[in-house]
Chain A
Amino acid sequence: MHLTGKIAGSALIIILILAVFSSVLSPYDPEKIDLDTIKEPPGIKHPFGTDNKGRDILSRVLYGGRISVSIAVIAAFISMFIGLVMGLCSGYLGGKADTAIMAVVDLILAFPSLLLAIGVSIIFPAGVYTVMIAIAFVGWASFARLIRGHVLTLKDAAYIEAAEAIGCSRFRILFVHLMPQCLPIGLVMAGIKLGGYVLTEASLSFLGLGAQPPMPTWGSMVSMNRAYIVSEPWMVLFPGMAIAVTALCFNVLGDALRDKYGLKVKM
């Protein structure tokens, strides 16, 4: 893995630590409204300044990171799991199951991804789980396609034939013999896709479809504070920068992973 990949990986570990321990590290309560400290510029007391309700931006960015990053990671795992099961069934069983699953995959990939995610998330009440469902609903399709392709190359391997010969059930072949072979590709693909999921989560919460106030997320912070971009730019600058840096680290890491494992997939 190249140096940039390692740097991005280390930066991500730091971001994850910051997100996990946000409740310990935050200097202030992210949801506490303090009318004495409204719109303070970045300084010693508030390194990232405060917003129009006197809430500390640094604390909100840290807490927002916990929500935003965990949504992206969990959504990636859900997508991977569904994609893995669907891809395995589609590739190994073939026939009607294959046709049906691939038809759904093609249908999903035919939509512009953010529009579809918006469409899914308006069905459910806005919130953290809705965003995960929306991202995973769109995301599993590309996993399924990749895994299916891999299963097709494994299907004729001698050990699968042997497993069939000694009378293993289809279920056993799928989940005991084929799944472990496909899991690494799924994980690499998840790493590649994570940067995009961070951005999708941010976009959905920017549109007000994500976690609801007063819960802070990076996207909703940019959205709510954008009226103050001229007079108090720090309110928008820092949460946006958090999104950009996190997505950048995930994308660089994804690139490194892709180069290392030679996967040809879109970010």
Chain B
Amino acid sequence: MVGERAQPEVIEKIRKELGADKSVLSQYAGYIKLLLQGEMGRSYYTNRKVLDDILIKFPNTIKLAFGAMLIAVPTGILLGFIAAYKKDTLVDRIISAVSIMGLSLPVFWSGLLIMLFLSLKLRLFPPSGTGDIRFLVMPALTLALPAIATLTRVTRTSVIEISEMPFIGTARAKGLSVFKINAVHIFKNILIPLVTVIGLDFGSYLNGAVLTETIFGWDGIGRFTMDGIIKRDYPVIMGCIIIGTVVFVLINLIVDILYHYLDPRVRLYASDR
């Protein structure tokens, strides 16, 4: 921070400023105290407030996450329904194989391949940067791949499980169309596992964002974290991890609350049980 030939007084001054002269415990207590006041400190390099930077970059990550969801949720559910409907046929096997492949691809590698083909060979999208929807497509697609895979698998198992229930037999016997049985009777009942997975996937978007944003130069929290790691800029890293976790926990909370509305049998308060 001060260079190799800094005066001892300068070093001492900066140590004082950073609070490095106090004991570890009191430093930690100070950090927690400031954190509770919404103060995450300043970056060692830019001297900008970490929280300010996070607030600028966070909307970009949210955009990316929603873009990925927009691709993943319909595709995953559709593929899952097809696989369940064509259970134990070739189509089902192909979809299962593709989805397990989607789970096994490292995001940073599939992202590079997507960039190579869509942008550098076919010239459809700009290779990297932050901006309008054209910049968003490729990173969102990269993030969506593993999410499509998990969604397909969960949809398939849940649809198969629900289709074997007696009320679906009744619906069939009533003469309802296949579409109506699937879209209304089955779909309503697989919502809980689906919402769980989508909520958890949101966490994995935060995971994946670190890698995807770095590759595509998307100016969000993920790349900010990565820059912080490379420069060992601890206030930035701490801030990003804390914000990421808070968002993850909040989403899980929202999912838990949603359960009640999706399935009134799930009670919100423990005393109801």
> In the complex, A208→B214 CA distance in Å?
13
A118-B225, A118-B241 in contact; A229/B115 too (CB < 8 A)? yes
**Does A202 sit within 8 A of B, measured CB to CB?**
yes
Chain A binding surface, main DSSP class = helix
**Does A115 sit within 8 A of B, measured CB to CB?**
yes
- Pair B103/A267 contact, Cβ less than 8 Å: yes
Contacts of A118 in B (CB 8 A): 210, 225, 229, 237, 241
- Pair B100/A252 contact, Cβ less than 8 Å: yes
Q: A113: nearest residue on chain B (CB-CB)?
A: B207
**A115 touches which of B104, B206, B234 (Cβ 8 Å):** B206
- Pair B105/A244 contact, Cβ less than 8 Å: yes
- Pair B245/A110 contact, Cβ less than 8 Å: yes
A110-B252, A115-B207, A207-B211 in contact; A240/B112 too (CB < 8 A)? yes
CB distance from B40 to the nearest CB of A (A): 14
**Segment with Cβ contacts to B, from A76-84, A180-188, A218-226:** A218-226
Contacts of A240 in B (CB 8 A): 106, 109, 112-113
- Pair B112/A222 contact, Cβ less than 8 Å: yes
Contacts of B215 in A (CB 8 A): 226
Q: A199: nearest residue on chain B (CB-CB)?
A: B106
Contacts of B225 in A (CB 8 A): 115, 118
> In the complex, A229→B117 CA distance in Å?
11
> In the complex, A248→B146 CA distance in Å?
12
**Does B204 sit within 8 A of A, measured CB to CB?**
yes
- Pair A110/B109 contact, Cβ less than 8 Å: no
**B112 touches which of A199, A208, A236, A255 (Cβ 8 Å):** A236
Place the interface of chain A in its size category.
Answer: 35 or more
CB distance from A212 to the nearest CB of B (A): 14
**Does B203 sit within 8 A of A, measured CB to CB?**
yes
Q: Mark B211-255, 1 if CB is under 8 A from A, else 0.
A: 100110000000001100110101001001100110011001000
Q: Mark A60-94, 1 if CB is under 8 A from B, else 0.
A: 00000000000000000000000000000000000
**Does A14 sit within 8 A of B, measured CB to CB?**
no
A115-B241, A244-B106 in contact; A122/B229 too (CB < 8 A)? yes
**Does B108 sit within 8 A of A, measured CB to CB?**
yes
Q: A230: nearest residue on chain B (CB-CB)?
A: B120
CB distance from B58 to the nearest CB of A (A): 14
- Pair B107/A203 contact, Cβ less than 8 Å: yes
> In the complex, A209→B207 CA distance in Å?
15
**A209 touches which of B108, B109, B200, B229 (Cβ 8 Å):** B229
Place the interface of chain B in its size category.
Answer: 35 or more
Contacts of A248 in B (CB 8 A): 100-101, 104
CB distance from A26 to the nearest CB of B (A): 22
Q: A252: nearest residue on chain B (CB-CB)?
A: B100
**Does A247 sit within 8 A of B, measured CB to CB?**
yes
> In the complex, A222→B208 CA distance in Å?
16
Contacts of B112 in A (CB 8 A): 222, 226, 229, 236, 240
A110-B245, A113-B207, A230-B116 in contact; A208/B104 too (CB < 8 A)? no
> In the complex, A115→B207 CA distance in Å?
6
- Pair B245/A251 contact, Cβ less than 8 Å: no
Contacts of A195 in B (CB 8 A): 103-104
A110-B249, A112-B248 in contact; A243/B109 too (CB < 8 A)? yes
CB distance from A213 to the nearest CB of B (A): 14
**A207 touches which of B200, B208, B226 (Cβ 8 Å):** B226
> In the complex, A233→B115 CA distance in Å?
12
CB distance from A61 to the nearest CB of B (A): 13
A122-B237, A230-B120, A247-B104 in contact; A111/B229 too (CB < 8 A)? no
Please report B residues at the A interface, Cβ cutoff 8 Å: 100-101, 103-109, 112-113, 115-116, 120, 200, 203-204, 206-208, 210-211, 214-215, 225-226, 229-230, 232, 234, 237, 240-241, 244-245, 248-249, 252
A-B contact pairs, 5 of them (CB 8 A): A206-B211, A219-B106, A219-B108, A240-B106, A250-B104
Chain A to chain B: the 10 pairs with minimum beta-carbon distance, closest first = A240-B109, A114-B207, A247-B104, A248-B104, A112-B203, A112-B206, A243-B106, A119-B241, A206-B108, A115-B244
